């Protein structure tokens, strides 16, 4: 398979650091031309699967304006330009959103949430032995509740529709798999009721 050739590129919208929309005229390998292919570039995100010292997973509940709903998620946030590393960004987000820190960290994966429109990625981390060490440090746009959930109950939250973010569902799968590899939970069973 061959990549497309960009014949022309035009900036539509630029709102740094949040969003850049570009229209491209692209020549496909089969000779077909797409006159206006839209790319929507955003910032990279870190997402943490935090397992507490008590064996529960720390989740956050918050209103998400894009879908207009209150959802449960794994702690997550944008990578900032002043973050020393992706790990530092993950540690910062966990502390800001939940007040938790951990000493045992592992990178799980870096995935593209929408590879048709953007090159940005979600970087998933596992944090073992998470414990509350400080108060939350929320910004003016955040209103978060923290929940501690047994790993065995995570798929039920997805099935009930409390967890609806594809990134959180992916992070749960990655986290449970790594915990199973370490013998900390039974191997995950993928087969939960249909999500409405």
Residues 115 and 19 in one domain: no
Residue 35 lies in a domain: yes
Residues 162 and 75 in one domain: yes
Residues 134 and 162 in one domain: yes
In the numeric block, the tokens 């108060």 are attached to 135
pLDDT at 189: 56
- Its domain, for residue 23, covers 5-41
Residues in Cβ contact with 71 at an 8 Å cutoff, skipping those fewer than 6 apart: 61, 62, 64, 162, 163, 164, 165
pLDDT at 58: 98
Residues 22 and 107 in one domain: no
The answer to whether 102 touches 87, Cβ cutoff 8 Å, is: no
CATH number at 107 reads 3.90.79.10
The answer to whether 73 touches 46, Cβ cutoff 8 Å, is: no
Residues 70 and 146 in one domain: yes
pTM: 0.92
Dist CA 77 CA 92 (whole Å): 9
8-22, 48-62, 130-144: the lowest-pLDDT one: 130-144
Q: How many residues in total does the chain contain?
A: 196
The string of DSSP letters for 131-155 reads: EE-S-----TT---EEEEE-GGGHH
pLDDT at 62: 96
Local confidence band at 168 (pLDDT 50, 70, 90 cut-offs): very high
CA neighbours closer than 13 Å in the CB half-sphere of residue 195: 15
| Number of domains into which the chain is organized | 2
């Amino acid at each position: 398979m061959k990549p497309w050739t960009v014949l022309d590129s035009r900036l539509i919208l630029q709102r740094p650091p949040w969003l850049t929309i570009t229209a491209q005229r692209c020549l496909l390998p089969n000779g077909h031309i797409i006159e206006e292919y839209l790319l929507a570039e955003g910032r990279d995100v870190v997402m943490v699967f935090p397992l507490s010292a008590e064996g529960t997973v720390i989740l956050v509940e918050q209103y998400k304006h894009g879908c207009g709903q209150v959802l449960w998620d794994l702690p997550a946030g944008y990578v900032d330009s002043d973050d020393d590393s992706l790990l530092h960004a993950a540690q910062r987000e966990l502390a800001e959103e939940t007040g938790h820190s951990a000493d045992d960290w592992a990178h799980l994966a870096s995935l593209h949430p929408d590879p048709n429109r953007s090159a940005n990625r979600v970087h998933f981390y596992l944090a073992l032995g998470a414990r509350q060490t400080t108060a939350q440090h929320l910004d003016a746009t955040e209103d978060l509740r923290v929940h501690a959930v047994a790993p065995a109950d995570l798929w039920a939250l997805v099935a009930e529709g409390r967890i609806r973010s594809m990134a959180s569902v992916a992070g749960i799968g990655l986290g449970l798999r790594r915990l199973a590899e370490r013998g900390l939970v039974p191997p995950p069973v993928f087969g939960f009721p249909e999500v409405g």
